[in-house]
Amino acid sequence: MVINFREWRIYLEYLVMLPGPTNVPERVTRAMFTHMINHRSKDFVKLYADVVEKTQKVFDTTGDVVALSASGTGAVEASVVNMIKKGDKVIIPVNGEFSSRLATMLEWAGASVIKLQTPFGQNASFDQVKEAFDNNKDVKAFYVVWNETSTGTMVKYLDKVSSLTARNDSFFVVDGVSIVGGEELHMDKWGIDVCVTGAQKALAAPPGISPIAVSPKAKKHMIANEPPTFYFNMKRYFKYYDENKETPFTPAIPLLYAYKEALDMILEEGMDKRVHRHRVCSDAFYSGLSALGLTPFAKEDARSTVVIALNYLQGLDDKTFRGTLSEKFRVLVAGGFGELKGKVFRVGCMGEVSKYHVMRTISAIHSTLDMMGYKTNPEALKVAEEKLKTL
C-alpha cells in the first residue's frame, strides 16, 4: 500500500509531550486489560499491598501510603483537609497557578496563610523561607509545590527545609504531583511529612491514581484530627489498610493494575538511572530549543527538569503554532494559562521520555517554525543530540 504525504499522519501515534498526562508505555496500557476482581478479595489485597510497597520505594519512605482513586488535585486537597484546622499558620511559596491554588485551598480550610510571593518564573529562596520561619515561631506547616507546572520552575532546596520545621515540630508537606518519579526524592531522609503525586505525570501511568505518602508523625496527627470529609478522610484509609490491606471505598481497579505495572518499570530501571535520564533529556531540550531561538521562561536557577516552559517568539500565535505542531507532526505540547496564556508554551519532559521523544519534538518544532516563516538554526538538532550522548 502506498501512503501519500497527506495520509501518513493518521498512521503516526501522537507524541504526548504535555506536562501530563504523558505518554503511557504499551506494557502499562496492556496491564489494564484484565478480569475484574472483588475489592474485598485476596486478589485485591495482593494487588494493593504490592502497590503500596512499590510506591514506598519510589518515595523512599517507610511511612504509610494511600493510592487514592482521584486526580492529583484530589491528593493535594486530602493533604490540606487532613492536616490543617482553622487558625493554623501555614507558610507557602507562591509563584504560579498551582501554588496559588494550593494557597487558596489552605485559606478555605481556615488557615492563616503566609504567602512568599515571587514573580512567575522564579522561586522563593531558601533564605526567604528561613526568614518566614524566623518571624513566625508558631507556624503549623510549610507547604510547597515542588514543581510549578504552569511556569516550568522547580524548588531545589527540599533537603534543607526540615532544619526549619524541626524547630517547633511543624509539618513539611510537598505537592509533587508533576515531578515524583522524575527527580531525586528521599522523603524520610529529607524529613518530609506528607508528599503527594499523580500517576499520569512522571510515573507514566494513566490518570486517576494519586498516591499520598505520610510520615508516622503526620499519620498520628491525621488520626487525632479527623477532618469533616468522607471520601478524603485519611483516618479511614489507614484503618482499612492496617486491618485488611484494603481501601474504604471502591478503587479504580484497572488503573491500579496499570499503576503497578508503571511502578515495576520504574524499579526495574532504577531511580538513579531514571533521574539521570530525565535530567539529560531536559538539558537537551533547553539547549536544542534555545538554539532554535526560543528562550526559557523560568530563571536559570529555578528551571524544572520535567517541564520546559518557553517564551513565544514575537508575533508567533499560540493557537496556530500548537495546532500546526499537532496536525502536521502529531506532537502535543501545552500552552500557557492564566496570565501566561498566549505568552508561553510548555513541553513535558517526563515519564518514558527518551532520545526519541526529545529529537522528534525538537524536529517538529523546528519544522513548524520554519513553515510559519521563522528563521531557525539548522544546528539545533545537533546541539540536542550532543547533550543526549550520555544516555
Q: What is the pLDDT of residues 12-44, one digit of tens each?
A: 789 999 999 999 999 999 999 999 999 999 999
User: Does some domain include residue 3?
Assistant: no
Identify the band that residue 11 occupies on the pLDDT scale cut at 50, 70 and 90.
low
Predicted pLDDT at 348:
98
- Tell me the sheet residues that pair with 212: 66, 196
Mean per-residue pLDDT over the chain, rounded: 96
| Of the residues 268, 290, 313, the one at which a domain ends | 268
Non-local CB neighbours of 326 within 8 Å, separated by 6+ positions = 14, 332
CA distance 294 to 303: 15
Identify the band that residue 338 occupies on the pLDDT scale cut at 50, 70 and 90.
confident
pLDDT at 8 over 80: no
Q: Return the axis-axis angle of helices 234-244 and 42-59, rounded to nearest 10°.
A: 120
- Tell me the sheet residues that pair with 67: 211
Predicted pLDDT at 234:
98
Q: What is the pLDDT of residues 280-308, one digit of tens each?
A: 999 999 999 999 999 999 999 999 999 99
pLDDT at 247 over 80: yes
CA distance 105 to 282: 31
Q: Is residue 351 domain-shared with residue 371, that is, in the same domain?
A: yes
- Tell me the sheet residues that pair with 214: 64, 194
pLDDT at 9 over 90: no
User: Does some domain include residue 331?
Assistant: yes
Predicted pLDDT at 3:
44
pLDDT at 314 over 60: yes
Q: Is residue 15 domain-shared with residue 91, that is, in the same domain?
A: no
Average pLDDT over residues 369-381: 93
User: Does some domain include residue 292?
Assistant: yes
Query: Cα 244 to the chain's mean position, in Å?
Result: 30
Q: What is the pLDDT of residues 261-282, one digit of tens each?
A: 999 999 999 999 999 999 999 9
Non-local CB neighbours of 243 within 8 Å, separated by 6+ positions = none
Average pLDDT over residues 122-147: 98
Domain that holds residue 116: 27-268
Average pLDDT over residues 134-159: 98
- The CATH number given to whatever domain includes residue 111 is 3.40.640.10
Supply the pTM of this predicted model. 0.95
How many domains does the chain fold into?
A: 2
| Of the residues 250, 268, 286, the one at which a domain ends | 268
Q: Is residue 33 domain-shared with residue 16, that is, in the same domain?
A: no
- The CATH number given to whatever domain includes residue 383 is 3.90.1150.10
pLDDT at 2 over 80: no
pLDDT at 6 over 90: no
Q: Which of 184, 158, 213, 198 has the alpha carbon at shortest distance from 305? A: 184
pLDDT at 91 over 70: yes
Non-local CB neighbours of 207 within 8 Å, separated by 6+ positions = 20, 21, 71, 198, 199, 200
C-alpha cell, 219? 499519620
Q: What is the pLDDT of residues 152-184, one digit of tens each?
A: 999 999 999 999 999 999 999 999 999 999 999
CA distance 22 to 64: 27
What are the φ and ψ backbone dihedral angles of 342, each rounded to 5 degrees? 80, -5
pLDDT at 211 over 70: yes
Q: Is residue 255 domain-shared with residue 374, that is, in the same domain?
A: no
pLDDT at 239 over 90: yes
| Of the residues 218, 239, 268, the one at which a domain ends | 268
